[in-house]
Structures are given as structure tokens and as C-alpha cells.
Amino acid sequence: MASLSRQFAQWVVGLRYEDLPPAVVDRAKGVTLHTLASVLIGSQTRDGRQAVKFVTEEEASARNGATLMVNGDKVTRGGAAFANSEMALAGGKYDTFRMLTHPNTAIIPGALVAAETTGASGKDFVTGLAAGYEVMERMAADFIPTVMSRGFHPGPVFSIFGAAVAAAKILRLTEDQVNSTIALCASLAGSNIEGIRSGGRALREGAAVRNAMLAVALAREGHVGGETVLEGDAGFYHAYTGNNRGQLTYSFVGATRTSLDKITADLGKDWMFLETLYRIYSCAGYNLAHIDVTAQLCAENNIRYEDVDRVEAVVNWLETQYPSPAFPSRREDGPARPGGTAYYTAYGVVKRGFPVLRGLGADPAGADVPPEVLKLMQRVTIIPSHQMTLFGPRITIFTKDGRSYTKQSTGREFIWDFNEEARRTSRPAATWSDTTGPTRSFS
């Protein structure tokens, strides 16, 4: 059987726009819009401006590079990919695949650079985007918690592959070149979490997409990457998960073993890309449903803040030990704190939503936060469970009259079509009730 990278390369090169299901095309357009919104916000932040300043000072003499979004200056392709990614990250409006990975912050900056420098059509851009997402998410799917438990941040570790594949497809690289691009990414992937645990700042998807552009450029010039760099005895999975046999340290669903064969099974038929959800609020992905599902529960049953005695939320246990049970820096099942899960659950009750433009750096206990949120969060209990689906809490509100109301999240509430994405991003101050409307379905 062909190696994993070879199977991916053959599929990527053969993929046509006409092969994409309508839902995949729709999702590609949606994640692009989501990223553009995040870049616009991020360009106004300190971190976004810092990234632009860095690359413009370093690369002011670039002639045949790519454009910095919003700013408009030309820098090298790698520099543009880096700064555009950093602005997307600073904007806080990521998409999320399962947990800890945010594909759009790397894949779309890489794809945009490739599309700009080749004059690609919209169809070529969408096709490259779909290929990049699918390769990245298949590679990451079962391995995210295990990679994090070994001290690596899975977002940058896996997103380099998605960004490189998207760019390689748009640039029309050959099968051998795409195979080498993937193999080279295994050498260029990385991101260690000890820095952020000891007072530092993470080097994340911006560095990943910059290295992705290097991998593409090297492969395009004939640098051969190798055949079994992903699954080989000394390959990527051995290095980042501890073995190449599919043995897992942690799992979202409690499994201790998977198979590397699953990574490419039904490639092009079952689209993992469609599991990508939108992080419309600037909070951890596992807190998203605590806002909207709680808000909906209140709206459906006319529950007011004044009526609430207490709230319980049963959640996937990995969501209570962020970023990993191996290196927890944030516990969500302990005392409530501003910016924690109990806080967002309380926000859903008090305001029936959350401000979309409330950014990553906002003080969670600031003067603009309703005091009722800070009071109610002390009466929210987070209960870890090994049976709950990821991002799918079961919310129960107990009212002062002795009644209780429960709503089970599906984990898919933040997976929607382009039209819903357009509505969400065009009404930044909206709450649940006026973004989704009375007929919005969460099933």
C-alpha cells in the first residue's frame, strides 16, 4: 500500500472543484468569511499590529511577495502568511476542529498567499482550501489530546500540513511535489507549550504557516521529502504521539487505540472538513455551547435571571482540564472564576448571549460585565463526565420555584451554513435570540 503522504498527494492532485459536495463548497466559503472578519478585528489589536510591524521592518525590500491584509504592504510570501495568520489569531474568531486546533488561522492565510501569487480562480482557491482542511483534520482527528499530552500544541503541529497542502494544490504542484511538501512539513512542524506555562507567549499557527510556505517552496524546487515520513518507525506519529501503532494516551471518546489506516479511509467520500465549527465568541471552543444552549433554554422556557436558583452543566471531562490532563493550566470543575466555563454559562442566562466583539484581551471581570453574571457564576456547577460528547454539555437550570429545565447539547450547534455565518458576522452586538431567530434549529 502507498504511504500516507503518497495517498494524500494522489488525492490532492486529482481533486477537482466539481468533485466537491455543495456542503463542502459552502463550508469553504464560510470559513473564509469567518477568517476575514477575524483579521479585520485582529488588525486593530496590539498583537496584530506587532506582527505587521515585524514583517514590514524585516522584509521591506520584498518585490515579488504577497500582500499584508488590511495594511496593503507587500512582503515575502512567508512573511505575509505569518502576519495574516497572527491577525486572524488576534481577532479571536477562529474555527475549531474538535479541540485545540484552529485550522483557519493557518490554512486560509497560506491559501490566500498562493492564490494571490498565481492569480488563482475562486474555484481553485476553494478546492485548495477543501484539500488543506481535509488533510489536516484527518491527520489530527484521533491524536489531538495525545499530542498535547507530550508537550506539543496540536494546533500548529497539524495546521502546517493543512496550510501547505492548500497552497500546494493552488500552485498546481505535481504528485511528487505534494508528497515531498507533506514530508517536509513533518520536519518543520512544532510548537511547545512549556513557554506559555512559564510566563511566555505561544508561537503558534503564524509560525506554522510560515514554515508551510517554506515546505512548499522547497518541494517546488525539487527537494525530495521521503515516502514514509508520517507513519515510519522514526516518523511524525512516532515523534509526536510516542508510537506509530495508533496507541493513544488520551482520547476524546475514551479510546486507547486507533489505526493509522483510518487517516485516509474513504478520503474524498466522508468529509471530515464538515465537522469544523465556528468559534463566533472569543472564548475557548468548549465554552461556546454554554452560552448559546443556555440562552436557548432560557428563551424556550421564559427563564429570567431572577428566577434562577442554580445551574448544573455536565461536560466532557477533557474540557475541565485545559489544555491537557497531563499539563493542566486551567481547571473548569473547581471554584468559578471570571472567564471560566461557569462564567460563560451565567452569561447565557443573564444576557441570553455574549457580545461577539468582546475580544480576547477583554477583562472578564471588567466594568462592562453585568454584575449578575459574576454573582450567578458562583451558583454554576461544572460536572466532568467520560460519557459526554465533546462540546456538548447537558445544561440544567434549577429555578427558585422548585422546577428544573434541561437541554442536551449536540456538540454541533456551531456548525452552520454560509448564510448563517453571514448573519452572525454582520450583527456583532447581537444575542442568541436576534442572531438565530425563532426558527433556528439546534438539532
pLDDT digits (tens, 9 = 90+) for 240-283: 999 999 999 999 888 899 999 999 999 999 999 999 999 999 99
In sequence order, which residues have a C-beta less than 8 Å from that of residue 333 and are 6 or more positions away? 320, 382, 383, 384
CA–CA distance, 85 with 160 (Å, rounded to integer): 12
Give me the mean pLDDT over the 22-33 stretch. 98
**Residue 433, pLDDT above cutoff 60:** no
Which residue from 383, 392, 283 is spatially nearest to 333, judged by alpha carbons?
Answer: 383
**Residue 253 gets which letter from DSSP?**
T
Rounded Cα distance, 293 and 392, in Å: 9
Phi-psi category of residue 267: left, alpha or beta, with phi > 0 → left and psi -120 to 50 → alpha: beta
What was the pLDDT predicted at 439?
A: 29
- Nearest Cα residue to 97 out of 158, 34, 38: 158
Mean pLDDT across 128-146: 97
User: What is residue 434's predicted lDDT score, i.e. its pLDDT?
Assistant: 44
Q: What is the CATH number of domain 4-278?
A: 1.10.4100.10
**In the chain, helix, strand, coil percent, each to 5?**
50, 10, 40
Averaged pLDDT for residues 390-413: 96
Backbone angles phi, psi at 313, to 5 degrees: -135, 120
Contact between 399 and 405 (Cβ < 8 Å): yes
- Whether 20 contacts 127, CB under 8 Å: yes
Q: Which residue do the cell numbers 502507498 mark? A: 2
DSSP at 366: S
pLDDT for res 196: 84
Q: Where are the alpha helices (DSSP H) in 221-319?
A: 236-241, 288-301
Percent of the chain predicted with pLDDT > 90: 85
The pLDDT of residue 431 is above 60: no
Give the architecture-level CATH label for domain 285-412.
2-Layer Sandwich (3.30)
Predicted confidence at residue 368, as pLDDT, reads: 93
Residue 122 near residue 112 (C-beta atoms within 8 A) = no
- Nearest one of 171, 172, 214 to 82, comparing CA atoms: 214
Q: State the span(s) of the chain assigned CATH 1.10.4100.10.
A: 4-278
pLDDT at 438: 32
Phi, psi (degrees; rounded to nearest 5) at 322 = -90, 140
CA distance 16 to 178: 16
Residue 42 grid cell: 485582529
Q: Is the pLDDT of residue 30 over 60?
A: yes
Using 50, 70 and 90 to split pLDDT, how confident is the model at 442? very low
Q: Which DSSP symbol is given to 394?
A: E
> DSSP string of 49-79?
HHHHHHHHHHSTT-SS-EEPTTT--EE-HHH
Q: Reduce the DSSP state of residue 312 to 3 states and report it.
A: strand
pLDDT of residue 60 exceeding 90, the answer is no
Which pLDDT score, from 0 to 100, does residue 61 have? Answer: 72
State the angle between helix axes of 77-91 and 46-58 in degrees (0 to 180), rounded to the nearest 10.
170
Give the model confidence (pLDDT) of 76-91 as tens digits.
999 999 999 999 999 9
Which part of the chain has CATH 3.30.1330.120?
Answer: 285-412
- Quick one: cell of 131? 484539500
Report the DSSP beta bridge partners of residue 380.
Answer: 311
- Name residue, grid cell 429555578: 399
Average pLDDT over residues 99-114: 97
Mean pLDDT, the chain, whole residue set: 93
Q: Which residue has the cell 465549527?
A: 277
In the chain, pLDDT over 70 holds for what percent of residues?
96
Q: Is 26 helix (H, G, I), strand (E, B) or coil?
A: helix
What is residue 427's predicted lDDT score, i.e. its pLDDT?
A: 65
CA distance 276 to 256: 24
- With 90 as the cut, is the pLDDT of residue 436 above it? no
Q: Give the pTM.
A: 0.94
Residue with cell 453574571: 373
> Rounded to an integer, what is the distance from CA 306 to the centroid of its chain?
36
Distance in angstroms (rounded) separating the CA atoms of residues 362 and 357: 10
CA atoms within 13 A on the CB side of 415: 18
Average pLDDT over residues 89-115: 96
With a cut of 90, say whether residue 114 has pLDDT above it. Answer: yes
How do residues 322-343 score in pLDDT, each as one tens digit?
888 999 888 999 999 999 999 9
